[in-house]
Amino acid sequence: MHRFSGAILITAVLVSIWAGASWAADDGEPTGWYLDAELAMVMTGGNSETSTLGFGGKLRRLWTKSELTFTGGATQSESSLITRTAQGTTTDFVVQEDKETTKTAELYFARGWYKYNFSHKFFGFSGVDWMSNKFAGIDSRFLMALGAGNTWSDTEKFKFRTHYSMTYTFEEDVVENPFVKTDFPGFRLGYGLEAQLSNSTSFESNLVADWNLDNMDDVRLDWYNALPVSISETLQLMPAVRVLWRNEPALTDVPLVDGGGVETGDVVATPLKQTDTIFTLALVVKLGPKAED
């Protein structure tokens, strides 16, 4: 039954995309393709070595009464531990260095969203959402959504909308929990906000809340906030923070030690932390059609 429900949602996504492709241009935002591409990178060297690389993008196709959007991104961090030893005597020695590089963060996501405006205030949408966050215990999570929303404000200075949908999730954890279902229906709600603070600075905020209808204690939040600052007509500098929270986090395996601190060779499963926070500072390139005067 769950697999059948998932097939229905996939069909709804494909039908919605096909239905929206026939709309022609109007006098609002220029129709066509829009692309935002961003790159973030931080590196340190010397006595300690760390590196963080992040990239992402948003591809949007705008028609008169509909919109198709694809977003995706990746963040990966590594750190190197340098261990030094000396060989020889206290007055005559050679220092040797061993370096061990460890991955400390790895997050990948991709989303597709089709929205159809029934009026200026009401829209329907369908979408798919995939994420992999192994350090949070999620090897792969694929979600399908079908729902509707309201546009409360859509001016040049302030845009705000809310949305709500039924979802179905297929999840694969790094450490399997035999007491929970990995395929489950759900309910999602959230908001999207854009505010123009000045001629060069704006504020963006998006919140998505998910409820697992098989286990109502399983609640997930994805909260994103950004402060894009325009450098030129096509370039932005964008600091952003993303907070991922789950009331019942995934499990991880922990080595079991005895009373003397010696590993026994066994492992036990224990919950990971509920909250992950990701801060980025990215350079964004914005491309798209220009409005006619």
pLDDT tens per residue, the chain (293 residues)?
A: 444 444 444 444 444 444 444 333 334 578 999 999 999 988 888 777 888 899 999 999 999 999 999 999 999 999 988 888 888 888 888 988 888 888 888 999 999 999 999 999 999 999 999 999 999 999 999 999 999 999 999 998 999 999 999 999 999 999 999 888 999 999 999 999 999 999 999 999 999 999 999 999 999 999 999 999 999 999 999 999 999 999 999 999 998 988 887 888 888 999 999 999 999 999 999 998 876 65
Does pTM top 0.85 for this prediction? no
Q: What is the pLDDT of residues 225-282, one digit of tens each?
A: 999 999 999 999 999 999 999 999 999 999 898 888 788 888 899 999 999 999 999 9
Q: Which of 168, 240, 172 is nearest to 203 (CA)?
A: 240
Name the CATH superfamily housing domain 2-287.
Answer: monomeric porin ompg (2.40.160.40)
H-assigned helices in the chain = 2-20
| Site of tokens 């129709």 | 31
Closest residue by Cα to residue 145 from 276, 16, 59: 16
User: Residue 56, Cβ neighbours under 10 Å: how many?
Assistant: 20
For residue 225, give every residue at least 6 positions away whose Cβ sits within 8 Å of its Cβ, in sequence order, or none: 203, 204, 205, 240, 241, 242
**Confidence (pLDDT) at 187:** 97
Could you state, in order of their start, the residue ranges of all structural domains in the chain? 2-287
User: 124: closest CA among 133, 132, 115?
Assistant: 115
Query: How far is residue 108's CA from residue 278's CA, in Å, rounded to a whole number?
Result: 12
pLDDT, position 18: 44
| pLDDT value of residue 46 | 76
